[in-house]
A and B are shown apart, each in its own frame.
Chain A
Amino acid sequence: MSIGSWLRDRPHFLELVYDGTHWLFKRLDPVISWIGYERAEKLITPPEEVGKKVVFDCRMCGQCILHSTGMTCPMTCPKNLRNGPCGGVRNNGNCEVKPEMRCVWVEAYERSLDMPVYGPEMVLLQPPVNRMLEDRSAWITMLTGEDQQVPAGWEGVSQLTILAEDLSVHFPKTSDD
């Protein structure tokens, strides 16, 4: 229906767009740093907010992990879950809280299966949300490293998984049941 949902159903395209934008911002970092992060943030935040709102219904948590969550915004989950679906998903795959809405994480998982680049990152542990970054530009917090700051004890945790090294084996397109 809307351009947002049309795009959301093309997760592989979106992960490539993410990759490109990430590359671009990293390249532009010296320029942005020269302008000053605070000044640049004032310019970047409004278009970032509008763009992400249209495509992802972004909630501006300021620490974007979309590419690790099936290009589906985890903050649109009514429980703000960052690590996967709760146990309350309805039989039809809809949300426990909003019966008319499809579970954000059911969608995230389905989309992650079409994401060869970042799909397997779904199994990584995501740290608690830093509520101080709310309403900030996630691109700027990425450049300043603020989105990488984790609570004490969480350092390196998101890089760990008890599963086999090759995560792609856990993302088969179909199951045998």
Chain B
Amino acid sequence: MARAITTKQKAINTAVIWTLGLVMFFPIFWLIILSFKTESDAIMAPMEVLMSGWTMESYDAVNRRSDYFKFFSNSVIIALGSTFLGLLIAVPAAWAMAFVPGKRTKDILLWMLSTKMLPPVGVLIPIYLLFRDTGLLDTRIGLVFVLMMINLPIIVWMLYTYFKEIPAEILEAARMDGASLGKEVLYVLTPMALPGIASTMLLNIILAWNEAFWTLNLTAAKAAPLTAFIASYSSPEGLFYAKLSAASVMAIAPILVMGWFSQKQLVRGLTFGAVK
């Protein structure tokens, strides 16, 4: 039943939403402001910070001190690599769970999700030792693999939900039409699930891009992505707010831009299946 919304209620709602939005956005806004200040201006009281002059010197310093492009390319390789590898494994897995479920399918899904309930630090030592012994420490391939494993439960879950929405009769029709399993997945399932696959991919790229725990613990120099790039500016000996902010902006900018352009797809994907 439709409810009548008065102008007053509407005004209150709008105010609340805007306040919440601004509170959530404020840290990022402040980060951007600080990145354009000198180190001495950056530690002043908020009003004074806003009044002080603008400069690009922090960006300049960050660029001179570290090889941004190396971190950036590591981030791209790790985020994209782990996502594609994850999809390669998750598409057939989700297909099997959605269309030929066994007695234990629900249990397996729940068990997969339960691995996300464990604090990552709980398995840090075994994984660290495994990486050390197999020579994967500080390698991009090692990070691709570990991030893929971390996010696999989410990818499988999301794809499973999308695939469940596809009528099984259509896949049966493909089978009757002479399609092998591979062709059925390639020509019928994948194109039909493309919006779902796309939003799963986007979300996973964002998660992998921002992942800090494993990237910081398993890399040193060679394979370090942008998260390590930011961390290198949070030094215990002194506060370099301006440089830290500049580095952070440089690290989040690419993913922020990507997120902005794909937000429609992302929101559609995340709420898919929730409402009929």
| Physical interaction between A and B | no
